[in-house]
Structure 1
Amino acid sequence: MKKIILGCVFGSFLVGCAQGPIQLPQNVRTIPMNGFPNQTQIDTVDESFKPNKEVTFDNIKLCAAQVFQNNSVSLNDTAGSFFGSYTGNYYEKNNSQTINSANLFKYIDEKNKIVIVTGNTKTKAQQAGLITDIVQYDVKLEDKSNEIKFTFQNILRAQQNTGALQNSGFSSIGTWSGARAPGVIESLNTLASKYKNCINE
Structure 2
Amino acid sequence: MKKIVLLSFIIGLVGCSSNPIDLPSNIKTIPTGMGNSTYIDEIDKSFQLSTDVSFEKIKACSVDVITNDSVVLRDSAGSFVGVYTGNYYQNKNSSVVQGGNLFKYVDDSGKSLVASGRIKTNPQQGGLIVDIVQYDAKISLNKNNINLKFQNIKAAQENTGGTSNVGFRNIGTWSGARAPAAISAIDQVATKFKNCVN
TM-score, structure 2 as length reference: 0.91
Q: Which runs of 5+ in 1 are unaligned?
A: 1-13
SS state at 2:101 partner: coil
Partner of 2:147: 149
- Asked which structure has the greater CA Rg, the reply is 2
Matched residue type, 1:192: A
Q: Deviations over 1:149-186 (max 9, x none)?
A: 00000000000000000000000000000000000000
Match of 1:115 among 110, 113, 116: 113
**Greater helix content:** 2
Are residue 175 (structure 1) and residue 173 (structure 2) matched? yes
Structure 1 pair 102/151, CA: closer, same or farther in 2 (3 Å)?
A: same
Q: Which runs of 5+ in 2 are unaligned?
A: 1-12
Matched residue type, 1:58: E
Bigger relative contact order, structure 1 or 2 (CA pairs below 8 A, ≥6 apart)? 1
CA distance in 2, matches of 1:50, 1:42: 24
Partner of 2:59: 61
Partner of 1:24: 23
Partner of 1:83: 81
Match of 2:196 among 188, 195, 198: 198
SS state at 2:188 partner: helix
SS state at 1:150 partner: strand
Would you identify which runs of 4 or more consecutive aligned residues in structure 1 move more than 6 Å?
Answer: none
CA distance in 1, matches of 2:43, 2:14: 22
Partner of 1:187: 185
CA distance in 2, matches of 1:77, 1:127: 17
Partner of 1:10: none
CA distance in 2, matches of 1:60, 1:114: 9
SS state at 2:195 partner: helix
CA distance in 2, matches of 1:112, 1:138: 18
Partner of 2:9: none
Matched residue type, 2:172: G
- Following superposition, the deviation at residue 16 of structure 1 comes to 6.2
Are residue 93 (structure 1) and residue 77 (structure 2) matched? no
Q: Deviations over 1:9-33 (max 9, x none)?
A: xxxxx95674442111111111111
Partner of 1:51: 49
Identity fraction in percent: 52
SS state at 1:98 partner: strand
Q: Deviations over 1:10-63 (max 9, x none)?
A: xxxx95674442111111111111x42421010000000011000111011010
Matched residue type, 2:129: I
Contact 2:49/2:144 (CA < 8 Å) preserved in 1? yes
Contact 2:45/2:190 (CA < 8 Å) preserved in 1? yes
SS state at 1:188 partner: helix
Structure 1 pair 60/180, CA: closer, same or farther in 2 (3 Å)?
A: same
Matched residue type, 2:127: G
CA distance in 2, matches of 1:21, 1:42: 11
Structure 1 pair 156/40, CA: closer, same or farther in 2 (3 Å)?
A: same
